[in-house]
Structure 1
Amino acid sequence: MGPPVLAAAPDGGWGWLVALAVFLEAGLIFGVIRSFGVFFVEFLGHFGELAGRVSWVTSITIAILLFASPVGTALSTQYGARPVVMAGGFLSGLGLAPPPPPPPLTHLYLSIGLLSGFGGALVFAPSVATLARYFKRRRALATAVAFSGPGLCSLAFSPLFQFLVDSYGWRGGLMIVAGMTFHLMACGALLRPLALTEDLALAPAPQRSWLAKLSSLFGLALLSSRPFLTFAVSGLLMNLGYLVPFAHLVPHAREMGFDEYQAACLMSMTGATDLCGRLVAGWLDARRAFRLLHTLTLWTLLTGVTLLLVPFGHTYPTLMAIDLCYGFLAGAVVPLKFSCLVEIVGTGRILEATGLVHLLESFGALAGPPLSGFLRDVTGSYTVSFIASGTFLIVGGLVLFTVPNFCSCSTTSPPKQSGDPDDAGNLTRHNGDHPCDGKT
């Protein structure tokens, strides 16, 4: 017997335990990735490779995590989020376990990049979609709280990873990090299924061909939605620059002459202000002072500006101040993106939409850090790398201006599918959700 069908999202209750699960998952996935700059420095020395080649370890991890997200959401549609997320947690921990010496750099591409990244894809997208289904009025607040995991974990992980490397070497430190990551399996156990009446309205009609079944399972009809595609292209451009500081801020600080613990402290403080930014973003949305899409655009543009300022941080206090601003602004971008995605496609399509938007964003995640590393190898410093990353974020923010009805208080519904109650392109209003409801 399945779970009882609810007329609307409970907006709390067990949803807060789901938020706790996503909080821990986000910390154990993205908190580790953000703090991986400590291991990046060790990889440079151990393998004797250029920064561009070593950057592929982090880049492949994030790219596979995003690229394989439709697989995670499709499997969750078929089998439920709980078993899929638990399986992904096992693969993530297994991929981070260090191989026997001496491993070639390509082995890390396959283990940390491919295996751990695929495990993360099975964990994150289904969990975020499950969280979105448990909340409506408090969705942005719950998402901000859940997504504060990377910021809080980054606060502790950067100095912790440096301590582990100093005490046990990069191989021993990586083994301990792998053990921590296996706790993703316990997080997956908290994802209780939830059935809503909206699911009945969106139930697909029987499909005759296997191609039609796959299209329905992966939500490919969303690719015909201009608002969705515009939003996804913006996310792709953002990812070209957004992820660069997590891979190269620590090496940049080391090149500036700061010691390893000063460099690690930069990422730690980024985590602290990242946490504040996410919570402030959730609080602002709860007050409904602005439309989510407008807030996301503003914070994205400001994040790009702070990255342009990183090369001007010639002293440690100046670099720390820029780093604190970056962490605060960048922290709000991720929860706002997911809340805006629900605004664009609706709760009933959020599972498929999350997978597809991650797929499209993966190309930016794959190219961003290696491009930054290549620019560093060519120029001899990270100055051009941070200027390029900031530019990508600004362009991504400007693309959001082209989302249909951007200047309106209305949102566009996804294209009509079998069972959808509205026609494609119809405008829907969130009654009482935005302060400008009823205005033209």
Structure 2
Amino acid sequence: MARLAMAMQQEKKHQHVEAPDGGWGWVVVVSLFISSALVFGLLRSLGVFFVEFVRYFGESAQAVSWITSIGVAVQQLLSPLGTAACSAYGSRRVVMIGGFLSALGFILASQATTLTHLYLTMGLISGSGWALVFTPTIASVMQYFNKRRSLAMGLGFTGVGLSSFAFSPLFQFLVQLYGWRGALLILGGLSLNIIVSGALIRPLGPTKVIERTKAKSLSDKYRSFFSHTCEYFELSLLLHRGFLTYSLAVTFINAGYFIPYVHLVAHSRLVGFNEFQAAFVISSTGVTDIVGRVVSGWASDLRHMRSLHLLTIWSALVGLFLLLLPLCSTQGNYVGLQLVSMAYGFCAGALTPLVFSVVPEIVGKERMVGALGLLQLIESFGGLLGAPLSGWLRDLSGSYILSFVVAGGFLIMGSIIITTLPHFCSCTNPPPLSPKDTKNEFTEEERLKQVLSLDSTENIHNTDRIPETLLSQNHITLEEIPLSAKRTDDDADC
């Protein structure tokens, strides 16, 4: 009993780490800037290669669209694996391994002879690397910031807009100078910089593997494989109504969000603009994207409106501008196309940091890391189907007008689903969970364990066999169970 109490006190000491809201956190923001630029900034600019792939392989727009969709879907589908590895071994080494895989995918893609090779290299290998980069870096920034979290996220995500502005004309130039194979090889070398950005990450506390090794002889002997899985992946969130509703909304948003970045260049070429005019449309969108991210983070941290309400507004506006985009580009109206694309870029940039910043408001900060991974997993279905559906509609209708209309509908539907979240109509964030509320979450955990067929003979009143899952989830207080560990909202798992 005395040894167990001492172990719990040591665990509490290691886990109680206040978010500094600055300091080395700004260096981690720089890491997010580099990583986001070389992941999603690069993804946004792959539309330059879209036309080249259609021409070289002689395939349909739908078939070529699967390259980007597979990459986005794999990145999001494997994000829980990235967050689990981050919780176990730390963000730094996970992000560095992800950077190597993302570069390897592009290097191998430069030697592709069929679309299947591109699916496996740019889609599967690079997508797996992005899964180990993006979500762990976001989690690291969110651990360093509390009061200025939205601003830090907005500044870190400006890398996406800046790279969108620079990469699209650059890639067009590289394709004309070296061909698409040489351009992909250069992209692989560029992606190696993610390894450097991963080296900048400094964890705030010890990983779960270190903590568990110290207390292994006390309380970790009888835990099952499924219990470990629940803890690392936060599977109890699959029974959380608010989280599931929010994940469904983000899935619809994700289905339409990437369609302009995949097909806007091809649409511009189709309506009569040359290669560099089409590429400059993406570049101008990237400029307003940068402004939108900073403005959104600054406005959210003012606390005049809930971040959830701002996210709803921005996502609805993105859907509206996607509906207007094909109408304003008809009859060679380049100015109209530019204006609507810039408005779309501003709103799309504004919603991106808020998608992740509102997660702690829904599930609590103690389950934030696992929630980010599961959110990316669920929304991957939208990313997987969005671009191929857009390509299929283009093949069916002969233009991209219907594709952008459907994309706008997805965004508007996502904003409507967000309004069904619990406490959405409240002008302030819901209060922290009270001891009575935590009993409901304990019920979720117990229900999940029953589904996974865990050992039903575990007795939480037996202090020699207190499940570590419960001790690490803030589901039990000192008043309920003696010698259990209390955790605060500032705890971090990664």
Q: Deviations over 1:331-374 (max 9, x none)?
A: 01110011001221222211111100000000000000000000
Q: Relative to structure 1, is the Cα distance of residues 138 and 302 closer, same or farther in structure 2, using a 3 angstrom cutoff?
A: same
- How far residue 6 of structure 1 moved from its aligned partner, in angstroms, is 5.3
Question: Aligned partners of 1:26, 1:94: CA distance in 2, in Å?
Answer: 18
Is 1:261 the counterpart of 2:279? The answer is no
- The answer on whether the counterparts of 2:42 and 2:167 sit within 8 Å (CA) in structure 1 is yes
Q: Which residue of 2 is the match for residue 71 of structure 1?
A: 81
Alignment pair present for 1:271 and 2:289: no
Shift in CA distance, 260/389, structure 1 to aligned 2, threshold 3 Å = same
The 1:5/1:230 distance shift into structure 2, 3 A limit, reads closer
Residue range with higher mean Cα deviation, 362-371 or 407-416: 407-416
Aligned to 2:264: 249
Match of 2:168 in 1: 158
2:306 to 291, 305, 310: 291
The CA deviation at 1:287 is 1.3
User: Residue in 1 aligned with 2:194?
Assistant: 184
What is the aligned length?
Answer: 422
User: Which position in structure 2 is the counterpart of 1:239?
Assistant: 254
Q: 1:305-344 to 2 correspondence within 5 Å?
A: 305-313=320-328, 314=330, 315-344=333-362
Name the counterpart of 1:352. Answer: 370
Letter of the structure 1 residue corresponding to residue 174 of structure 2: L
Distance 1:101 1:277 in 2: 38
Q: 1:53 to 1:345 in 2, by over 3 A?
A: same
Question: What is the one-letter code of the residue matched to 1:360?
Answer: I
Q: Distance in 2 between matches of 1:34 and 1:378?
A: 24
Do 2:292 and 2:348's aligned partners in 1 also have CA atoms closer than 8 Å? yes
Structure 2: how far apart are the matches of 1:32 and 1:379?
Answer: 29
1:381 and 2:396 aligned: no
CA apart distance, 1:76: 1.0
Match of 2:245 in 1: 230
AA at the equivalent of 1:369: A
Please say which of residues 187-196 and 42-51 is displaced more in the overlay.
187-196
Query: Distance between the aligned counterparts of 2:474 and 2:60, measured in 1?
Result: 55
Q: How does 1:118-129 map to 2 (within 5 A)?
A: 118-129=128-139
Deviation at 1:410, TM superposition (A): 3.0
Distance 1:170 1:10, change over 3 A: same
| Aligned position for 1:410 | 429
The equivalent position to 1:94 in structure 2, one of 104, 116, 130, is 104
* Consecutive unaligned residues in structure 2, runs of 5 or more: 1-9, 446-469, 478-488, 490-494
- Asked if structure 1 preserves the Cα contact closer than 8 Å seen for 2:87 and 2:232, the reply is yes
User: What's the counterpart of residue 6 of structure 2?
Assistant: none
In structure 2, what residue type is equivalent to 1:384?
A: L
- Indicate conservation of the 8 Å contact 1:5/1:194, yes or no: no
The CA deviation at 1:325 is: 0.4
Task: Tell me if structure 2 keeps the 8 A contact 1:132–1:347.
Answer: no
Q: How do 1:26-65 and structure 2 match up within 5 A?
A: 26-65=36-75
1:117 is the counterpart of 2:135: no
In structure 2, the CA distance between the partners of 1:316 and 1:220, relative to structure 1 (3 Å rule), is same
Tell me the CA shift for residue 195 of structure 1.
Answer: 2.4
Residue 311 of structure 1, CA deviation? 1.1
Cα deviation code 1:19-40 (max 9, x no counterpart): 0000100000001100000011
Question: Max radius of gyration: which structure?
Answer: 2
What's the CA shift string for 1:148-206, capped at 9, x where partnerless?
1100111100000001001100100111111000110011111111129xxx9xx9974
Structure 2 contact 112–118 (Cα < 8 Å) conserved: no
Counterpart amino acid of residue 97 in structure 1: I
Indicate the SS of the match to 2:343.
helix
C-alpha displacement at 1:297, in angstroms? 0.4
Match of 2:142 among 132, 146, 168: 132
CA distance in 2, matches of 1:316, 1:165: 24
With over 3 angstroms needed to count, the CA separation of the structure-2 counterparts of 1:264 and 1:385, relative to structure 1, is same
Deviations 1:104-138 (A, max 9, x none): 11000000000000000001111111110000000
**Taking structure 1 as the reference length, what is the TM-score of the superposition?**
0.92
Post-superposition offset of 1:421: 4.0
Alpha-carbon contact 2:361-2:429 (below 8 Å) kept: no
* Contact map agreement 1:300 1:394 (CA 8 A) in 2: yes
Distance (whole Å) between structure 1 residues aligned to residue 363 and residue 286 of structure 2: 30
Counterpart Cα distance in 1 of 2:313 and 2:306: 11
Task: Provide the secondary structure at the position in 1 that maps to 2:411.
Answer: helix
3-state SS of the aligned residue for 2:18? coil
Q: Displacement, 1:285?
A: 1.2
Q: Deviations over 1:291-342 (max 9, x none)?
A: 0000000110011000001111221000101000000000011100110012
* Amino acid across the alignment from 2:425: C
Query: Per-residue deviation at 1:213?
Result: 1.1
Other-structure match for 1:16 = 26
Cα deviation for residue 211 of structure 1 reads: 1.3
Deviation at 1:422, TM superposition (A): 5.8
CA distance in 2, matches of 1:102, 1:160: 22
Aligned to 1:438: none
RMSD: 2.4
- 2:411 pairs with 1:396: no
Q: Which amino acid aligns with 1:319?
A: L
Is the Cα contact below 8 Å between 1:98 and 1:171 reproduced in 2? no
